[in-house]
Structure 1
Amino acid sequence: MHSHRIVRGAVSALLVASALQGLSPAAAKPPAPVVAAIQADEAAAVKRLQQWIALPTIANMGVNHAEGAAHMRQLALDAGFQQGEVIKTAGVPAVFATLDAGAPTTLGVYFMYDVKHYDPKEWNSPPLEARLVDRPGEGKAIVGRGAVNQKGPETAFLAAVKAFKDSGTKLPVNLVLVAEGEEEIGSPNFPQALASPAVQAALGKAAGVFIPGASQSSTGSVSTELGAKGVIEVQLISSGEKWGRGPNKDVHSSLMASVDNPAWRLVKALNTLVEDDGFTPAIDGYFENVRPLTAREKQIIAEEVAAGDEADIKKSLGIRTWAKDENFLTSSIRLAQRPTVNIQGLVSGYTGPGGKTVLPGRAEAKMDLRLVPNMTYDEAVTKLKAHLAKRGFSDIEVVVSGGYSPTEVAEDSVMIRAAQATLNGAGIENTLSARAAGSWPGVMFTGAPLKLPALGFGAGRGGGAHAPNEWFLVDSTNPKVAGMAEQSEIYADFLYEVAKAAAK
């Protein structure tokens, strides 16, 4: 998942402090009591985040499925949602909660409560301890699995909702929360939860849906995305057993002269999926339904590139050049326009230290395919299988573990207008983004039957999602970057802007 946003205070003292820090002293929204409640709850909110990180739900490993759902439900109830229930699916449960404020506008909120797995040996700080660490030049951050993706931003949003309850202030919108525990494996069973009549009825009243996020740049700028690529999580498996050639178990490598090798067969199959440049997709018909970028989308990308810091982005990614040595603008257009075929990892034979002379009986490629409008999930899966079969690789197992089609949201929609109004009101430098290169299951809201505008939104900063030492800033020393309490304030402000935009 996955995505740059800051705030103003509301009480006069906070407004002065905000002005000194570079935040806009604009008209107070949320009201002073809500801001005061957010500030009073800040330390407790950090503790709630640490406790949540200590309870990881890992979808593909059977870790804390029931416990994670129960904890998510309780977090919603503690924040002020009036009802919350765990919805069983064929996989990890989902959570559905509602808050009726008696408002004319309803806002849908999407959470994920699962996280990627982790190897503690790769971390400088234990991944479940959620320690507070100093980040030079940035402030204090929580380090832990799920800190930024997505438990930190979600905790900040729940703290905003709780502040309305604690201060006795009525929310400007009703809330419908749907939370899943399988986002990290492509949300395979989330549609079952969304199909519940009660969920459909509640979301059917919503003006739009959003997922909290924290992706401010180091300079404090924010990019609001007009959609996201779709994704397919898939494993390609070559085995002597399915192939009918090669061993059905690992054997001595000296036999390579007379025994077929399933690992080499997988390599040769994989090599057909991309062009010789190593990254341009070569699946038959893959580009058939790709919608070219519009003139407006290209303009948005150019504006985002002009406002961005290419050197800082390269540094954060640990790269020196873009593919094909393209310039930043050309590469950014490619990033938005191009579907992808990516190898996440290769598993076969012996993978320990040193060598071990074996000929593997099995090889697996863990892959993801990113999709752009107007591609669909079903179309891409069908074309991948047909491509392999046409080249004689029908024995390669194609195991699709999850995924969904791309998401798009109109620039003039309620959600985009509310997001921009919130950011502009707070004096935050912001641009639009034609499309997120990453993915989230927004299409389950933007597509039929709901057809609601959906986006990622929030302030704050973090990094390391899916990687060791994942972090989320809770106390910012940079006046242009939001700490956790400031993030909660901007979420509260966002609720008012959604209500205002929906009333127009």
Structure 2
Amino acid sequence: MDTSSPASPARRDVLRGAALGTTALAATAAGAAGTPDTAALRAAVKADHDVNIKRLQDWIALPTIAAEGRNIDQGVAHMTQLARDAGFQTVETIKPAKGIPAVFATMDNGAKKTLGLYFMYDVKQFDPAEWSSPPLEGRIVDRAGMGKVLIGRGATNQKGPESMMLAALHAFKKTGRKPPVNLVLIAEGEEEIGSPNFAEIVRTPKVLAALKKCSGVIIPFPSQAPGNGNVSVNLGAKGVIELELVASGEKWGRGPAKDLHSSNKAIVDSPAWHLVEALATLVTPDGNTPAIDGWFEHVLPLTPREKALIADSAAKRDQAREMAQMGVKKFVGDMTWQETLERLAAMPTINIEGLVAGYTGPGGKTVLPARAVAKIDMRLVPAQTKDDCVAKLKAHLAKRGFGDIEVNVSGGYDPTQTDENSALIKAELATCARAGIQTTVYPRLAGSWPGYVFTSAPVSQPAGQFGFGHGSGAHAPDEYLLIESSNPKVLGYDDAVMGYVDFLHQIAATG
């Protein structure tokens, strides 16, 4: 728990001065990029604080959930209007052959450089009974050691940080100034089901042509640690595969065609046990290392440089605080902190999201289920690919007598990697430095986003996450975003918005 006391007004002013580009260094970089009056922009952000928060709350109140087919048309329309309101001159929907449309928008500011923005307007499912505050209300509450936070589905993943970027663009618009870079926005509505159609959308000729003009692509991301405010700049992200493994009496040719009374287990095979046996072959006995045939064939080991970056990260990150935030007392293997962070970056994973079979209500119901389902996600590292890993999974199951088990892939994509010497990463680090925020560089985010579409051919541009502020609880109950910070090391909403303003200027100034 953060025990920092609230910052005094004077200390907050000093922090804002450092964070929002008022140092001599910031002025120098700003001048090179043709920066407008930063004070006017800051005043606009402050004046529109309530408007910006209300925009986020309204967005949270409209959840687009691809897995449930919920609010698809409304979500597309809302994202379209958000882009228009922020000043994008051309806004249109791009419809894949199947699936949910994306929103494509461009803003020509007559600048020399162009930045790509990746948004997602969909969110994960939620159960209101698990939340302390209504998940669609966006209620602002006090949180000890942090300040005021906004609770809601999408608060940190990703509507909150995306709303900060939109708020920055509104500040430019309100002050009658143009952002220092041109902008290309692509917002999808299927990220939370593994972006199954995103590559098709990006490779649409008009979208591809626009993205190829970009210096890089970012996904807004509230990246500050809640205690010391440090930022980890990730050079990539793991890939992901989402799928279901389904065992059934019908496909297996054994077991019941429909649920039976459990007394028949003495003479009838169980699809549920069949699935459990299959699952046990996918990992080592402790469940922590993939054991699929050939799984590590293309896995690249950490380079000496990556290990050095991780060592620096381990020295600057607070292990005890991160464990407390995760609610864990032990990490796999009881390794050192540095070894743990190396494993986090380098190890592909196979995770059981959920197991469903038979009766799951109150009390018991003595049935022998005819069908069992395991919901699985797999995280991939360079140079694994989605297609190769799915093929290896199917071959592994078939070789062991589980070829009847259905492998239903719902989405996924390859890992992504960006050169630490790219202009995009340099701009991120420079923006953090001007804000007085300590950074570490980490090989890759353990989570996933479809950045591979941007870093691979034919787009072939650097891509990464960027943003200040703090949020947590993605995919979980009580997801939150910090609005008013009581910790002088961590920026609240308005200051994080100004961080995006500064970043745009830095992109314009970085060679």
Measured against the shorter chain, the TM-score band is over 0.9
- Measured after TM superposition, the shift of residue 408 of structure 1 is 0.2
Alpha-carbon displacement from aligned partner over 1:311-354 (angstroms, at most 9, x marks no partner) = 00110111111111112111111111111111111011111122
* Counterparts of 1:357 and 1:325, CA distance in 2: 40
Once the two structures are superposed, residues 334-380 of structure 1 have per-residue CA deviations (whole angstroms, 9 ceiling, x without a partner) of 11111111111101111112221111000000001111001111110
TM-score when normalising by structure 2: 0.94
| Alignment check: 8 A CA contact 2:16 2:495 kept | no
Amino acid at match of 1:253: S
Mapped contact 1:53–1:147 kept (Cα < 8 A): yes
Task: Please give the secondary structure, in 2, of the residue aligned with 1:460.
Answer: coil
The answer to whether structure 1 residue 105 and structure 2 residue 105 are counterparts is: no
> TM-score scaled to structure 1, two decimals?
0.95
Residue segments in structure 1 that go unaligned for 5+ positions in a row: 1-13
Q: Which residue of 2 aligns with 1:352?
A: 361
Aligned to 1:170: 178
Q: Pairwise mapping of residues 447-486 of structure 1 onto structure 2 (< 5 A)?
A: 447-486=456-495
Stretches of structure 2 that go unaligned for 5 or more consecutive residues are: 1-8
Tell me the residue number matched to 2:137.
Answer: 129
Q: Kindly provide the amino acid, as one letter, of the partner of residue 186 in structure 2.
A: V
1:18 deviation in Å? 2.9
> Which residue in 1 is equivalent to 2:324?
315
Contact 2:12 2:488 in 1 (8 A): no
CA RMSD of aligned residues (A): 1.4
Find 1:75's aligned residue among 82, 98, 102. 82
- Name the amino acid aligned to 2:270: N
- Is 1:296–2:291 an aligned residue pair? no
Hey, what's the Cα distance between the residues in 2 that align with 1:158 and 1:352?
44
CA–CA separation in structure 2 for the residues paired with 1:485 and 1:22: 13
Contact 1:279–1:340, Cα closer than 8 Å, also in 2: yes
Deviations 1:113-160 (A, max 9, x none): 100000011111111111111111211111110110000000000000
Matched, 1:336 2:345: yes
**Could you tell me which of 153, 158, 163 is aligned with 2:166?**
158
Alpha-carbon distance, 1:17 to partner:
5.0
Q: What residue in structure 2 maps to residue 271 of structure 1?
A: 280
Query: Displacement of 1:23 after TM fit?
Result: 3.8
CA distance in 1, matches of 2:13, 2:229: 14
Counterpart in the other structure of 2:13 = 18
Equivalent residue for 2:371? 362
Q: d(CA) in 2 for partners of 1:249 and 1:172?
A: 64
Who is 1:248 aligned against? 257
Aligned letter for 2:485? S
Q: Residue 396 of structure 2 aligns with which residue?
A: 387
Checking the alignment, whether the CA contact within 8 Å between 2:222 and 2:470 is kept in structure 1 is yes
The one-letter code sitting in structure 1 at the alignment partner of 2:68 is M
1:48 corresponds to 2:43:
no
Q: Partners in 1 of 2:10 and 2:428 — Cα distance?
A: 21
1:32 Cα deviation after fit: 1.9
Taking the aligned partners of 2:10 and 2:498, their CA distance within structure 1 comes to 12
Q: CA deviation at 1:215?
A: 2.7
The residue type paired with residue 468 of structure 2 is A
For the residue of structure 2 that corresponds to 1:283, the secondary structure is: coil
Secondary structure of the residue that 1:148 maps to in structure 2?
A: coil
1:10-33 deviations in whole A, cap 9, x for unaligned? xxxx99853166845513556222
Paired residue secondary structure (1:149): coil
Amino acid at match of 2:177: T
Partner of 1:421: 430
CA contact (8 A) 1:110 1:209 kept: yes
Alignment match, 1:9: none
- The match for 1:57 among 56, 64, 77 is 64
1:208 to 216, 230, 246: 216
Q: Which amino acid aligns with 1:172?
A: P
> Which of 208, 214, 230 does residue 239 from structure 2 map onto?
230
2:441 pairs with 432, 449, 465, which one?
432
Distance 1:20 1:305, change over 3 A: closer
Please say if residues 23 and 479 of structure 1, whose CA atoms lie closer than 8 Å, have aligned partners that are also in contact: no
Q: What amino acid maps onto 1:41 in structure 2?
A: D
Cα distance in 2 between the residues matched to 1:16 and 1:276: 53
Task: Please list the CA deviations of residues 55-100 of structure 1 after superposition, one character each: whole Å capped at 9, or x if unmatched.
Answer: 0000010101111011011001101111111112211110001100
Q: Is the 8 A contact 1:234 1:399 kept in 2?
A: yes
**Structure 1 pair 452–493 and aligned structure 2 pair: CA distance change class (3 A):** same
Distance in 2 (alpha carbons) for counterparts of 1:17 and 1:250: 63
Flag the 1:66–1:249 CA change in 2: closer, same or farther, 3 A. Answer: same
Deviations 1:220-279 (A, max 9, x none): 110000100000001100001111110122111111100010000000000000011211
Specify the code of the residue in structure 1 equivalent to 2:114: T
Counterpart CA distance in 2 for 1:314 and 1:355 is 36
CA distance, structure 2, for counterparts of residue 353 and residue 49 of structure 1: 38
Pick one of 148, 151, 161 that aligns with 1:143: 151
